[in-house]
Amino acid sequence: MWQEIIIGLLFAVALFFLGRMVYRQFTKKEGCGEGCGCSSASAVSMEEMEKKLKADKRFGPNK
């Protein structure tokens, strides 16, 4: 009897985690939410990156 209760509880826990994984898959927000700058709103254009590199003396023309 107690073995069936344990198996039932394990099955319920597995269903909970599976349901939570599916729920999170469909309710994702922009970016990863970790503050790493990976969201599309914080994307930097190539022109801005080139300007920053040219302004940096280490990457400027050789003297």
pLDDT above 70: percentage of residues in the chain: 63
pTM (global) more than 0.85: no
Q: What is the pLDDT of residue 43?
A: 58
Q: What is the pLDDT of residue 11?
A: 97
Every domain of the chain and the residues it spans: 1-26
Nearest CA-CA partner of 48 in 37, 56, 39: 56
Look at 9 and 36; give whichever has higher pLDDT.
9
Q: What is the pLDDT of residue 21?
A: 93
Please say if the pLDDT value at position 39 is more than 60.
no
Chain segment 12-24, per-residue pLDDT in tens: 999 999 999 999 8
